[in-house]
Amino acid sequence: MTMNRRKFISNTTATSAFISLGGLSLNSCALNTQKKITILHTNDVHSHIDTFSETHSKFPNLGGVAKRASLVDSIRKENPNTLLFDAGDIFQGTPYFNFYGGELEFKLMSMLKYDAATIGNHDFDNGIEGLVSQLPYAKFQFISANYDFSNTIMDGHTKPYEIYIVDGIKIGVYGVGIELDGLVTKKLYKETLYLDPLEIAQDIEQKLKEDEKCDIIICLSHLGYEYQSHKIDDLKLAKQTKFTNLIIGGHTHTFLDKPTVVKNNNHTNVLVNQVGCFGVNLGKINFYFDSEKNIVADGISITV
């Protein structure tokens, strides 16, 4: 681009160069300030690697990693400023897991260039040893803020949050997981400590906003979409946080017609999304940026 512009200047008369350049510069300025970040996501894929058969009662001809791969490729071609996440329960559900212990799931997610995943309760199904033994096949980051693994062999293999800089936009991503007691037997999760996801989320989002100055804050959650009880869920988390823009959920296998918009503790809108289960859908969220002077007074508009 710069090269072409220089060539263009030197090959034309001064006056026309000036006018054309003026137009070009303004254009390039506008291009620089208008940015689009695409976030793709899955959850609860549960070892579903193949497309469901055409006779399947619920999901005929749906899903399949090789198809997801081409969809992700085409979206990345359209917008290279794309990140791909998973909200947990990668493991368990087909013989692929029983036979290979999650190796194929992790290898395929690496081939699809997933950026990160959080940990679901079923990812402990072969014990914490079973999870750790498959980590060499995962070329993506595990993000979990409220499981304290310090007294387990998982120690050091996760990060509470990760920051991605995409096209100059700073994206902070943190992860929260569900209480394991009652869902997973202790002999599987061992000395993993479950910490209050809400407190942790509030601490981390503040850090990501105020210290790290992130432009987008995303929560990868395996808490579940909604419970009638007091049990923490994605909707409650959205209401009680201040800086998180998007919660990518899992666990409850919730199929939503569209992402849910929730007012947070700052009275701004948060998106909560979940795409069912078994890899039959891919979630796609676009974030559009513009220069500050172009921002309308009513803040961020959300269309779903």
Partner 1 sequence: MILKIKQFVIFTTVLLLISCKEEKTTLKKINGKEIPITDSIPEVDSIANFITPYRKRINQVLDSTLAYAPKNITKTDGEFNTTAGNLMADAVLELTAPIFKSRTKNNLDFVLLNSGGIRSVISKGNISARTAYEIMPFDNTVVVVSLKGKAIREMVKYLITSKKAHPIAGLQIIIDKNDSIKEVNIQGKPFDENKTYYVATSDYLIKGGDHMDFFKDHISATDTGYMIRNVMIDYFTKLDTIAPLIDDRFIKIED
Binding mask 250-279 for partner 1 (x = CB under 8 A): ------x-xx-----------x-x-x---x
Residue 21 touching partner 1 (CB under 8 A): yes
Q: Distances in Å between the alpha carbon of 263 and those of 4, 141, 239, 267, 296?
A: 47, 30, 6, 5, 19
Residues 183-222 that bind partner 1 (CB under 8 A): 185, 187, 215-216
Helix (H, G, I), strand (E, B) or coil at 187: helix
Do residues 240 and 205 touch, judged by C-beta distance below 8 A?
no
Do residues 196 and 145 touch, judged by C-beta distance below 8 A?
no
Q: Which stretch binds partner 1 (CB under 8 A): 133-141, 158-166, 222-230, 284-292?
A: 284-292
Residue 169 touching partner 1 (CB under 8 A): yes
In the complex with partner 1, which residue's Cβ is closer, 195 or 265?
A: 265
Q: Distances in Å between the alpha carbon of 208 and those of 163, 191, 215, 244, 299?
A: 8, 28, 9, 9, 20
- Of 14, 53, 211, 228, the residue at the interface with partner 1 (CB under 8 A) is 14
Residue 269: other Cβ atoms inside 10 A: 16
Residue 181 touching partner 1 (CB under 8 A): no
Alpha carbons 57 and 65: distance in angstroms, whole number: 20
Q: Are strands 161-166 and 169-177 parallel, antiparallel or unpaired?
A: antiparallel
In the complex with partner 1, which residue's Cβ is closer, 219 or 275?
A: 275
Residue 177 touching partner 1 (CB under 8 A): no
Residue type, 76: R
Alpha carbons 251 and 175: distance in angstroms, whole number: 13
Alpha carbons 288 and 215: distance in angstroms, whole number: 11
Helix (H, G, I), strand (E, B) or coil at 179: coil
Residue 5 touching partner 1 (CB under 8 A): yes
- Of 245, 252, 254, 264, the residue at the interface with partner 1 (CB under 8 A) is 245
- Of 181, 199, 210, 288, the residue at the interface with partner 1 (CB under 8 A) is 288
In the complex with partner 1, which residue's Cβ is closer, 38 or 158?
A: 38
- Of 168, 181, 199, 210, the residue at the interface with partner 1 (CB under 8 A) is 168
214 burial class (0-12, 13-18, 19+ CB within 10 angstroms)? buried
Residue 291 touching partner 1 (CB under 8 A): yes
Size, binding site for partner 1 by CB under 8 A: 81
Distance of CA 219 to the CA centre of its chain: 7
Bridge partners of 222, per DSSP, are 177
Residue 3 touching partner 1 (CB under 8 A): no
The two structure tokens encoding residue 279: 């890899």
Binding mask 128-167 for partner 1 (x = CB under 8 A): ----------------------------------------
Residues 50-79 that bind partner 1 (CB under 8 A): 50-51, 61-71, 73
In the complex with partner 1, which residue's Cβ is closer, 74 or 156?
A: 74
Residues 83-122 that bind partner 1 (CB under 8 A): 92-93, 95-96, 98-100, 104, 107-108, 111-112
